[in-house]
Amino acid sequence: MTLASFISWFTGAFVFGIVIMLGCVGETLTEKSGNLNLGVPGIMYLGGISSLSAVFMTQLRVREMIAEAAAVFVEAGNRAQEWVPETGLLKFLTQPVTSAITVKGAEASYRVFFDFNGWIGVVIAIVAALIGAAFGGLIYSFLTVTLRANQNVTGLTLTIFGSGVANFFGGSLNKLAGGVGQISVATTSTAFRTSFPWISTAFGKVSELLFNYGFFSYIAIVIAIIAHIYLNKTRHGLNLRAVGENPATADAAGINVTKYKYLATCIGAAISGLGGLYFVMDYIKGTWANDGSIESLGWLAVALVIFTKWKPINAIWGAFVFGLCYWVYLYMPQGVSEILAELFGVQKISHLQSLYKMLPYIVTIIVLIITSLRKKRENQPPQSLGLSYFREDR
Amino acid sequence: MASPNREPLVRLVKRSSIPLWQSILVRVAAIILSLLFSAVIITLITKLDPVKVFTSMYNGAFGLELRTWNTIRDMMLLLCIAVGLAPAFKMKFWNIGAEGQILVGGIVSAACMISIGDKLPTALLLIVMALISAVAGAIWGLIPAIFKAKWNTNETLFTLMMNYVAIQLTSFMVDVWDKKGSHSVGVINQTTRTGWFPPIAEKQYLLNVIIVLALTVIMFIYLKKTKQGYEIAVVGESENTARYAGISVKKVILRTMLISGAICGIAGFIEVAGVSHTISVNTAGGRGFTAIIVAWLAKFNTFTMILISLLLVFLDKGAVQIATDFGLNEYASEMVTGIILFFILGSEFFINYKLIFRHSNKGGKA
């Protein structure tokens, strides 16, 4: 394997890993409260589509506003060539607008505006993803905590709902933007993929391997670390774990079980939703495709929760390992593939791709089996995972 | 500040039972509410007349004889899987792995059609395919069951992972069988039609209906009237009770998952031999997950499942029709399905619990 192909494998795995790591950290928080939320794929869908549509709609609105402003500018007796985007914009955005005509100058100023303001897009995208995904968590907690519906069924329904909403709006936005695959929020996506200055190039290959990713990747890692500290070092986090292990005991100790379950599920969902945001904005560069890829990533995130034994800190390297497994088929040395192909009686080496893609799931199954075999208490799922709590039900 | 002696505004009490008409009323109310809610959402988003939209949905599902048969066909597939899941769920074994069990059943059916299709007479071939796919599905379901029975390994997560192993396995087999390098198998035996379900009385999907309805009746009797069905119910209620009663919990878990997996495998066989005549990673198409909801909402009563699968398939077909009629996107169906299911799930609460308001019980402050 050459160094170049190693680097591309490593970086591919890293970026892939961030998506499922965010999904996993959010789901870990949720599961620690005893809620097994199988709606992670749906929640990631909601996060992704919320961010994309919010940015896209803002873009449309800004474009309209600039067009209107430019028209007013021309109407006021100025010549169109004198329209200076930045100052003209500032001057006219605040004034009442009378007509809407698209002129060339408006198009240009729109572009300038968004070159300057990709970062506004970033903020809008993050806020929208958090709200959209937390809304999914809220539906889930209302049904399972307040109405005590079955968790597995509610979670699966949330996945159906989230994927429906996301693909419905994703498809419609594409149509609005002029056809399949046409939607693009390139400026915002570029802002998301901005890496830190200096350090991203200073150390040659090391920088290329470790420091050359979009800034949000590092925020994601920090979120995982914070989640770890929260669950292990704070009183609030310990209370949460108590709720997940044995809600009746936690209740008796004066912990508000309902509040903890709601908060953990909604905040967990918001974090999982950031995984969807990262997928849309960074991984596929601010576009949308109704191809179900978020759904399979969501299930991988659920798998990762098991793989990490419910510890967010493990998600950082666990997600990377999953990423390596996921992409290994592209980088497997020829010799190994030939041996495997002969072993399985496969005619074409490219057919092995599917078998390699099984790896993350098989590894997860093995981890699941080993944790249940060893019965080490700190590695087990939260004891009340999947069960509703009803105080009078004892 | 409320005085400490005051009763809370609303108290919850678990109901021990509820009259049948009340539970039906709650569910019907939930469905009507959800339809109204979806209508509002549809109107808000698309500015279309909701009545027209629902008429269009009805046309999509039952408008033509062909459409009606397609609706029945899809309903039977969903029902078959839900019937397969019923015993496992009644035992509180969360078999989320129907998707995978369907796929492995489909793979072996396709393998039969491809390899021994021309060596056996049709009837015998179909029986062989049914048996082998049942075995394949059963094995896929049995693997997590063994670990659950022996080491109490979490079956929800295990069966979920098995789905993805099955999906990749399918993708692998598709590559192996693919002659043109297009990453798909195409229609198997398109000219000879060997291994396809023969039409009965000129109805192409009648055999599907017969098989699935037979399974539905058998499963109803198995769960309600047999000793094994009773054992499943006891294990589902409480494993400890089952042990005290001398039931071998391990044996029941293994036996039940064997049955559950086998029926899901047969669903894969029906899909491949009786519906699509091909195999791909989309053969299960999320039905394994939808069927979980069907089985759960029907409270494991296989006859109720017929109604619920009809409702879900109707929604799906209807939404596709809306999409073509009004130029919308077909994913609207998943969205509406999600909303309706949320309402039905929420309505269960009012069946299981009673709300007591502070003043509803005058002078009854004990």
Give one word for A148, left, alpha or beta, with left for phi > 0 and alpha for psi -120 to 50. Answer: left
> Is residue A384 domain-resident?
no
Q: Residue A385 has what pLDDT?
A: 83
Q: How confident is the model at residue B62 (pLDDT cuts 50, 70, 90)?
A: confident
Side-chain half-sphere CA neighbours of B73 within 13 A? 20
Render pLDDT for B284-329 as a digit per residue (tens, 0 to 9). 878 888 899 888 888 888 898 999 899 888 888 887 787 777 777 7
Tell me how far apart the alpha carbons of residues A64 and B82 are, in angstroms, rounded to a whole number.
Answer: 51
Is B168 in Cβ contact with A355 (below 8 Å)? yes
Helix (H), strand (E), coil (C) string for chain B = CCCCCCCCCEEEEECCCCCHHHHHHHHHHHHHHHHHHHHHHHHHHHCCCHHHHHHHHHHHHHCCHHHHHHHHHHHHHHHHHHHHHHHHHHCCCCCCCHHHHHHHHHHHHHHHHHHCCCCCCHHHHHHHHHHHHHHHHHHHHHHHHHHHHHHCCCHHHHHHHHHHHHHHHHHHHHHHHCCCCCCCCCCCCCCCCCCCCCCECCECCHHHHHHHHHHHHHHHHHHHHCHHHHHHHHHHHCHHHHHHCCCCHHHHHHHHHHHHHHHHHHHHHHHHHHHHCCCCCCCCCCHHHHHHHHHHHCCCCHHHHHHHHHHHHHHHHHHHHHHHHHCCCCCHHHHHHHHHHHHHHHHHHHHHEEEEECCCCCCCCC
Q: Are strands B10-14 and B353-357 parallel, antiparallel or unpaired?
A: antiparallel
DSSP SS3 for A38 = coil
Is B339 in Cβ contact with A168 (below 8 Å)? no
> Is residue A131 domain-resident?
yes
pTM for this model (two decimals) = 0.87
Of B165, B175, B337, the CB nearest to A361: B165
Q: What is the mean pLDDT of chain B?
A: 85
Q: What number of other Cβ atoms are within 10 A of residue B339's Cβ?
A: 22
CA-based end-to-end distance of chain A: 61
Residue A71 is which amino acid? Answer: A
> Is residue A152 domain-resident?
yes
Q: Residue A51 has what pLDDT?
A: 93
DSSP SS3 for A226 = helix
- CA B15 to chain CA centroid, Å, is 28
Task: Report the gap between the CA of B52 and the closest CA in chain A (Å).
Answer: 20
| Region A325-346 average pLDDT | 79
Q: Please, are residues A269 and A38 in contact by the beta-carbon 8 Å criterion?
A: no
Q: Which residue of B has its CA nearest to A394?
A: B14
Q: Which residue of B has its CA nearest to A180?
A: B329
List of chain B residues whose C-beta atoms are within 8 Å of the C-beta of residue A351? 172, 175-176
> Is residue A90 domain-resident?
no
- Assess whether pLDDT exceeds 90 at residue B253: yes
Of A153, A165, A167, the CB nearest to B296: A153
Q: Does B94 touch chain A (CB under 8 A)?
A: yes
Q: How many domains does chain A have?
A: 1
What does the longest C-alpha to C-alpha distance in chain A come to? 81
Task: Report the gap between the CA of B122 and the closest CA in chain A (Å).
Answer: 30
Tell me how far apart the alpha carbons of residues A268 and A40 are, in angstroms, rounded to a whole number.
Answer: 10
Beta-carbon contacts of B159 under 8 Å, excluding residues fewer than 6 positions away, are B94, B95, B96, B97, B100, B141, B144
Is A299 in Cβ contact with B172 (below 8 Å)? no
Render pLDDT for A26-59 as a digit per residue (tens, 0 to 9). 999 999 999 999 999 999 999 999 999 998 888 7
Is A164 in Cβ contact with B334 (below 8 Å)? yes
Q: Does B98 touch chain A (CB under 8 A)?
A: no
> Is residue A20 domain-resident?
yes
Of B161, B342, B353, the CB nearest to A303: B161
Of A156, A175, A306, the CB nearest to B293: A156
Instruction: Express as a percent the part of chain B with pLDDT over 90.
Output: 30
Enumerate the H helices of A99-150 as residue ranges: 104-116, 118-141
Which residues of chain B from 67 to 86 reach within 8 Å of chain A, CB to CB?
Answer: none
- Assess whether pLDDT exceeds 70 at residue A246: yes
Task: Report the gap between the CA of A63 and the closest CA in chain B (Å).
Answer: 22
User: Higher-confidence residue: A86 or B173?
Assistant: B173
Structure tokens at A240: 């949460």
Q: Residue A356 has what pLDDT?
A: 84
Task: Report the gap between the CA of A167 and the closest CA in chain B (Å).
Answer: 6
This model of the complex carries an ipTM of 0.84
Main-chain phi, psi angles of B200, to 5 degrees: -115, 130
Tell me how far apart the alpha carbons of residues A138 and A38 are, in angstroms, rounded to a whole number.
Answer: 14
Range of the domain at A214: 3-57+124-379
> Is residue A49 domain-resident?
yes
Map tokens 């929420």 to a residue. Answer: B346
Of A139, A168, A175, the CB nearest to B342: A139
Q: Which residue of A has its CA nearest to B171?
A: A354
Is B172 in Cβ contact with A351 (below 8 Å)? yes
Main-chain phi, psi angles of B12, to 5 degrees: -110, 135
Listed range (A75-89, A153-167, A327-341) with the worst mean pLDDT = A75-89
Main-chain phi, psi angles of B11, to 5 degrees: -115, 150
Listed range (A135-149, A186-200, A288-302, B64-78) with the worst mean pLDDT = A186-200
Tell me how far apart the alpha carbons of residues B344 and B34 are, in angstroms, rounded to a whole number.
Answer: 8
Checking A2-6 for CB contacts under 8 A at 24+ apart, the result is A3/A205, A5/A331, A6/A331
Is B337 in Cβ contact with A160 (below 8 Å)? yes
Q: Please, are residues B100 and B228 in contact by the beta-carbon 8 Å criterion?
A: no
Mutation site, B37, B281, B342, interface A, largest A CB count within 10 A = B342
Range of A248-252, B261-265, B352-356 with top mean pLDDT = B261-265
Q: What is the CATH number of the domain that holds A182?
A: 1.10.3470
Beta-carbon contacts of A350 under 8 Å, excluding residues fewer than 6 positions away, are B175
List of chain B residues whose C-beta atoms are within 8 Å of the C-beta of residue A309? none
Per-residue DSSP letter, A145: I
> Is residue A33 domain-resident?
yes
Per-residue DSSP letter, A331: H
> Is residue A351 domain-resident?
yes
List of chain B residues whose C-beta atoms are within 8 Å of the C-beta of residue A36? 156
Render pLDDT for B149-197 as a digit per residue (tens, 0 to 9). 998 888 888 998 899 899 999 988 888 888 777 777 778 877 777 778 8
Q: Which residue of B has its CA nearest to A144?
A: B346
Tell me how far apart the alpha carbons of residues B302 and A384 are, in angstroms, rounded to a whole number.
Answer: 30
| Region B13-26 average pLDDT | 80
